[in-house]
Chain A
């Protein structure tokens, strides 16, 4: 569902399968502060700052995506 949403919004993303990839799992634990659940997204902005999203959170995704490209609306 999250992947479908990002594709529709033309957002480039890298998928990491934390149940199959130990390094990805460790990365997720570090980024989330120990939160383990899926989906979990890390958005890296142009200025290098990061924003994390727990779950398929349509409201937060739309907010972040529109900040990248104000022409995109829900």
Chain B
């Protein structure tokens, strides 16, 4: 009897909407695609470009840090793209991007703010906290 009374006027869906905070534009970090790049620019989202090479061990370690950082900044709506240069996975598109942003070495970051302007550029390893800080500053 009590159970029926609780359900009066409420559906299960409504209960879930109240309980779960919905993020419409979650952050994500993935391999480069023009679609995602354009999406970041058009939707005015912070865009992190990570220039990497598949033979670079330090880049592989950094990639794990990047993934963790984006997981922890899930609600910020930032987009991170892994861009291959100087390796077997490099394409004409990724090569053109490295030239566009004057990146000549693997393990390089370029962070664009919501207006598509370079806010931060760096070559080397970045710890999780510093990377998260730069992403948040670029908002």
Contact = CB atoms under 8 A, between A and B. Distances in A.
Contacts of B126: 37
B118 A55 contact: no
B92 to A, nearest CB: 23
B43 interface: no
Q: SS class of chain A's interface: helix, strand, loop or mixed?
A: mixed
B70 interface: no
Contacts, number: 38
A73 to B, nearest CB: 15
B119 A54 contact: no
Contacts of B124: 35-38
Interface of A: 1-2, 35-39, 54-59
Given A55-B121, A55-B134, A59-B119, 6 more contacts: A38-B123, A38-B124, A39-B121, A39-B123, A55-B120, A59-B120
